Amino acid sequence: MSTPARPSSAEATRRLLVLAAALFAVVIGQAQILMGWGQSPAEFAADSDATLRVAGFAFAIWGVIYVWLLVYAVRQAIPATAETPLLKALGWPSVAALLAIGWWIVAAAFDWETGTIVLIFGALLVLLIPLLGQATAIRALPRGDRDRWMTVWPLALLAGWLTVAAPVNLLTVVTGNGDLPTALPPLGWAVLAVLAVAALALGVTARLRTLAYGLPVSWGLIGVFAAEQTRNAPLAFTALAAALGVLAGIALLVFRLRPAGSDSGRDVKADTPAASR
C-alpha cells in the first residue's frame, strides 16, 4: 500500500485559507445576529417576498451546514491529513464560496441587492461546477471514506441549499424593484422556480449519487410549502409535490441505481489506497 501524500507548503497554505474562509463565513453570520448591524437575512428575505417565500424555520439548516463546513475546514488544517485529489480540486472553489456567503451577509445587511444576487449565484456556481467535474471520483468513493463525509457532504449540502436560496433571492429583489418580467404572472415565475430547482436537484444527484445535494433542496421546498399554504395554495402544493418528488428521486438514484464504483459498498476493498485516505 502506498504512503498517503502529505501536503506541500502551497497546499498547506490553501488549507489554512479554507479554514480562514470557513471561520469568516460562520463568524460574520453570528456577528450580524448578535450585534444587530443592518438588517438580518430574514428581514432582507421578507422585504419583498410577494412572489416566493420560504418559512423561517427552514433557515435553521444553516446551523447544520456551518458545523459540517467547520468539520471540512478543520480536518484540512490538521497536518496529518493526507492530500487527496478531491481536496485539491475543491479547495480553492470552496474558499471562493465561503467568502461569498460571508460577504452575502454584509450585502443583505446593508441592502446591496445586486451584490446579494451576484454573491449567492457566484457561490452556487463556483461549488457546483467543480463538484460535477469530479462526479466520477465522487461516485467511486467508498461509503466510509473521509472525503465522502468531510469534503463532499459539507460542500454538497451548501450547494444544495444555495440552489433553493439563489432563485428566492433573485425573485425577492426583482419583485421589490418592480422588475419581475410580465411574460408570466408572479405565480408562474414562482412555480417555474420551484420546478427548476427540483429538476436541478435530480439532475445533479444523478451525476454525484449522494444525498447531500438533494436533501437541503427538499428541505427548502418544504419551507416554501409551509410559507405559502395560507397565501398561495397552488404554489404551496406544487412545492410539496416537488419536495416529495426530490426525496423519492434522490433515494432511488442513490440506493437503487448502483453507481459504477464503490458506492455499492462492495466494489472497492477496504485495503485499497482510496479507502485508506
Mean pLDDT across 165-186:
94
Is the CB of residue 57 less than 8 Å from the CB of residue 133? no
pTM higher than 0.85 for the full model? yes
Task: Give, in degrees to the nearest 5, the angle at Cα 184 between 178 and 188.
Answer: 105
Per-position DSSP letters for 28-79, written without gaps between them: HHHHHHHH--S--HHHHHHTT-SS----GGGGGHHHHHHHHHHHHHHHHHST
Higher pLDDT, 183 or 264: 183
Q: Distance between CA 132 and CA 24 in Å, rounded?
A: 26
Mean pLDDT across 127-146:
96
Is the CB of residue 167 less than 8 Å from the CB of residue 243? no
Q: Distance between CA 196 and CA 155 in Å, rounded?
A: 21
Burial of 224 (0-12, 13-18, 19+ CB in 10 A): buried
Locate the domains of the chain by residue range.
9-276
pLDDT at 270: 37
Q: Distance between CA 239 and CA 105 in Å, rounded?
A: 26
pLDDT at 79: 86
Q: Distance between CA 69 and CA 85 in Å, rounded?
A: 18
Q: Model confidence over 200-242: pLDDT tens digits?
A: 999 999 999 999 999 999 999 999 999 999 999 999 999 999 9
